[in-house]
Amino acid sequence: MGVQIPLDTMTVEEKLRALEDIWADLRKHADDIPSPEWHRDVLKARERKHTGDSAVFEDWSIVKERIRKRTR
Protein backbone atom coordinates (compact mmCIF):
# COMPACT_ATOMS: atom_id res chain seq x y z
CA MET A 1 0.00 0.00 0.00
CA GLY A 2 1.49 3.30 -1.05
CA VAL A 3 0.53 6.50 0.69
CA GLN A 4 0.46 9.63 -1.40
CA ILE A 5 1.63 12.74 0.44
CA PRO A 6 1.65 16.06 -1.44
CA LEU A 7 5.25 16.86 -0.51
CA ASP A 8 5.68 19.29 -3.41
CA THR A 9 2.93 21.53 -2.08
CA MET A 10 3.64 21.23 1.64
CA THR A 11 5.57 23.84 3.59
CA VAL A 12 8.59 22.84 5.64
CA GLU A 13 6.55 23.31 8.79
CA GLU A 14 3.80 21.03 7.46
CA LYS A 15 6.38 18.37 6.58
CA LEU A 16 7.96 18.56 10.03
CA ARG A 17 4.54 18.32 11.68
CA ALA A 18 3.75 15.24 9.55
CA LEU A 19 7.05 13.64 10.63
CA GLU A 20 6.32 14.38 14.28
CA ASP A 21 2.84 12.87 13.93
CA ILE A 22 4.25 9.73 12.31
CA TRP A 23 6.91 9.32 15.03
CA ALA A 24 4.30 9.85 17.75
CA ASP A 25 2.18 7.09 16.23
CA LEU A 26 5.17 4.75 15.84
CA ARG A 27 6.06 5.26 19.52
CA LYS A 28 2.63 3.88 20.46
CA HIS A 29 3.65 0.58 18.86
CA ALA A 30 7.38 0.59 19.57
CA ASP A 31 7.42 -3.08 20.57
CA ASP A 32 6.13 -4.02 17.10
CA ILE A 33 9.07 -2.36 15.33
CA PRO A 34 11.88 -4.82 14.64
CA SER A 35 15.39 -3.73 15.51
CA PRO A 36 18.31 -5.27 13.63
CA GLU A 37 20.98 -7.04 15.65
CA TRP A 38 23.68 -4.59 14.51
CA HIS A 39 21.68 -1.74 16.01
CA ARG A 40 21.51 -3.48 19.38
CA ASP A 41 25.29 -3.98 19.22
CA VAL A 42 25.88 -0.28 18.50
CA LEU A 43 23.64 0.76 21.39
CA LYS A 44 25.40 -1.60 23.80
CA ALA A 45 28.80 -0.28 22.71
CA ARG A 46 27.67 3.31 23.25
CA GLU A 47 26.25 2.43 26.65
CA ARG A 48 29.55 0.83 27.69
CA LYS A 49 31.40 3.93 26.49
CA HIS A 50 29.36 6.20 28.76
CA THR A 51 29.03 3.98 31.80
CA GLY A 52 30.66 5.78 34.69
CA ASP A 53 31.40 8.73 32.42
CA SER A 54 30.61 12.29 33.45
CA ALA A 55 28.63 12.90 30.25
CA VAL A 56 25.48 14.93 30.72
CA PHE A 57 22.35 13.95 28.83
CA GLU A 58 19.26 16.07 28.40
CA ASP A 59 15.69 15.21 27.58
CA TRP A 60 15.11 15.43 23.81
CA SER A 61 11.99 17.60 24.18
CA ILE A 62 14.01 20.21 26.11
CA VAL A 63 16.82 20.20 23.57
CA LYS A 64 14.36 20.41 20.66
CA GLU A 65 12.69 23.46 22.20
CA ARG A 66 16.08 25.13 22.73
CA ILE A 67 16.92 24.57 19.04
CA ARG A 68 13.56 25.94 17.93
CA LYS A 69 14.09 29.11 19.99
CA ARG A 70 17.49 29.66 18.35
CA THR A 71 16.09 29.36 14.84
CA ARG A 72 13.20 31.80 15.30
Pick the closest to residue 18 from 3, 33, 40 (CA basis).
Answer: 3
Q: Which pTM was predicted? A: 0.48
pLDDT number for residue 68 = 93
The answer to whether the beta carbons of residues 10 and 18 sit under 8 Å apart is yes
Contact residues for 33 (Cβ-Cβ < 8 A; gap 6+): 26
CA dist 36 and 29 (Å) reads 17
Mean pLDDT by 10 residues, the chain (72 residues): 92 96 94 92 88 79 94 83
Please tell me the distance from the alpha carbon of residue 14 to that of residue 7, in angstroms, as a whole number: 9
What's the confidence (pLDDT) of residue 53? 65
- pLDDT recorded at residue 27: 93
